Amino acid sequence: MLIRVRSKAGTWRVPDLTGTSTVGDIKAWIASEHAIAVDRQVISADVKQANVLSDTATLRSLQVGHGDMLYLEFDGEAISTTGGGGIVQRKINADGTLTHATYDSRLEKTGFRPGMKALRDMKMHWTLSEFMLMDAQFEFKIKAQKKPYIEKVMLDGASCNSFQAYLRQFAFQQSRCGWLYGTVQPPTSTEEEALPTVVVECIYEPPQTGDPYGFEVHDDPHADKVDAVAAALGWTKVGWIFSHPPREDETFHFSSREILLAAQLQLDAGGPKTPFVTVKVTLDKEGQASFEAFQVSDQCLDMFSAGALLEDETNPTACAVHETFTAMVEMKAAKEVDNNFFLTVVPVANHTSTLAADFPPLHREGNLRTRQTLKNQLRKASGPYIDRLKDFQLLVFLADYLDVQTDIPVICQSILSPDVPLDSGYPVLIDSVAGH
C-alpha cells in the first residue's frame, strides 16, 4: 500500500508498504529520499502532533491504511549525509525545487516563499528570466479541464446493484469503496480525438471500515489472489468506486479528501491521459441510487504531485493550498480551490457482464463464504457446468482451494472461450470442495 506524509516541505507519498511495515520504515524512506536524519524526525497521526507514533509500531496496529495521511515534524537545519549519517547544513537546489527545501521560522519573512531560502541564499545573481521561471513552478492558474480522457464508462448492472443494495442496509450512512475491474476498449473511431471506453465487469471491495464521514481501507490478504483471478479473465483495475451519504448541496460532488485520494489513485494508475475512472454513488432526492463518473484534471494531478493541495479542515468542498504555492482563481490569489475545478465528467452507460454477481462478496458484514455456500450456488444454476462457475466472487473463493496460477487460468479460459471445453476433472474437484 501507499501512505502520504505531510510536512512543512510538502506532501510525500511513501510507496511499497504493507501492514507489517513500521513507522521506522517510513522514517528510513524519508531519510533516503529526502535526506532528513531519522533521529530528527517526529511522525504523528494528527496535524497538531498530539499523538506521536513509536518507531516500532506497525501500520496494522495503528490502523493506518492505503492512502492515509501521517504528519512529520523535523529540524530543517539537520539532514543525513549520503554515507556516514553525519549532520550537515541543509541546502536548496539553485532551481528552487522543494526536495531538500530548508525551512526556518525566520524564512517566513525573508524567504523567497514560505519554507524556502531568500533568493541571495540560493544564488548570488539572478536574471529576470531565471526568477520568472523559478517562480512559475510554484504558481498555478486554476482552470477547469473541458474533457476527460475516456469516452464513457460502462458499468455492470448486477455489480452496481449489489453494491448499492448493501449500502441501503445502512441507509447510505456507511461510506464504502471498491476496486473496479474490467477492460479498456480502444476508440471505435479513427479520428485523432477519439477516446477509449472503460468497461467495468465487477466491483471488488477490500477490507474496510466506514462511517458517514469516510472510510478506512485495511491491509488485504486477498489482494494478490484477486488480481490473479482478474488477470486470468483478462481484466485489470480500471478505476475505483466510493459512496457517501446524501448531501444537501447538489453541487458538492467530492470532499477534499476524496479529491486527493482520486488524484493519488489516478497517478498510481499512470497519471495524465490514463483511462482510469472514479465512480461515486449516493442517493438522489428521490431516494434512488445515483452513479456518477469522473476523472480528476491534469492540473489537479500536477498540484497534488507538487504537494500544493491539502485537505481543507474547515471547508470540505475545497482543497486548501500549501503556503509555499500560489493558486490564481480568476486572476486572484486564493488560499483554497473549489473541488469542482478539478473534476471532469465521464458519461455513464449500462453494461451486462458475462459473469454474474450472485456469490457472497468478500469483506461484507454478515456474508458467509463456506463450502456449503458454494454447494448451494452450484445447485441453483442449471445448464452446462462451466456456466455455474461464471461468477467472479465464486472464482475468488475457489482460488482458496485450487491453484491460482494453474487451475484458475484453465477454468477462466473455458469461461471466456466456448470452444474450449472444461477438463472433466474440474467438476469432480470442485464438487469435492463443495462437499458433494
Task: Report the Cα–Cα distance between both ends of the chain, in Å, rounded.
Answer: 39
| Nine-digit cell string for 313 | 479542515
Give the number of other CB atoms < 10 A from CB of residue 406: 8
Under 8 Å between Cβ of 240 and 279: yes
| Three state DSSP letters for 62-102 | HCCCCCCEEEEEECCCEEECCCCCCEEECCCCCCCCCCCCC
CA distance 25 to 136: 35
Under 8 Å between Cβ of 144 and 190: no
| Nine-digit cell string for 241 | 468506486
pTM: 0.74
CA distance 165 to 176: 12
From the first residue on, what is the mean pLDDT of each consecutive set of 10 residues in the chain (436 residues)? 83 88 94 84 88 93 89 65 36 41 40 56 63 68 94 97 96 96 92 92 96 90 96 97 93 93 92 95 94 97 89 91 88 93 97 95 92 92 89 97 96 94 94 88
Q: What phi, psi does 44 have (nearest 5°)?
A: -130, 165
Domains defined for the chain, CATH in brackets: 3-74 (3.10.20.90), 90-135 (no CATH), 152-351 (3.40.140.10), 371-434 (no CATH)
Distance of CA 224 to the CA centre of its chain: 17
| Three state DSSP letters for 163-204 | HHHHHHCCCCCCCCEEEEEEEEECCCCCCCCCCCEEEEEEEE
Give the number of other CB atoms < 10 A from CB of residue 416: 14
The stretches of 270-367 forming alpha helices (DSSP H) are 298-306
User: Which residues share a beta bridge with 157?
Assistant: none
Biggest CA–CA distance in the chain, Å, is: 83
Distance (Å) of CA 116 to CA 95, 112, 384: 12, 6, 69
311-319: list long-range contacts, CB under 8 Å, 24+ apart: 311/69, 311/256, 311/257, 311/260, 312/256, 312/336, 315/256, 316/252, 316/255, 316/256, 316/257, 317/249, 317/252, 317/255, 317/256, 318/256, 319/256, 319/259, 319/260
Place of cell 497519471: 271
Which pLDDT belongs to residue 132? Answer: 57
| Nine-digit cell string for 301 | 494531478
User: Which residues share a beta bridge with 326?
Assistant: 139
H-helix or E-strand spanning residue 256: helix 256-269
Residue 341: helix, strand or coil by DSSP?
helix
Place of cell 466472487: 393
Which pLDDT belongs to residue 122? Answer: 63
Place of cell 524512506: 29
Give the number of other CB atoms < 10 A from CB of residue 318: 21
Place of cell 447538489: 250
- Per DSSP, 345 falls in state E
Angle between helices 256-269 and 298-306 (to 10 degrees): 100
Q: What phi, psi does 195 have (nearest 5°)?
A: -120, 155
Query: Kindly report the CA angle at 385 between 383 and 389, in degrees rounded to 5?
Result: 110
Which pLDDT belongs to residue 391? Answer: 96
| Nine-digit cell string for 328 | 490564481
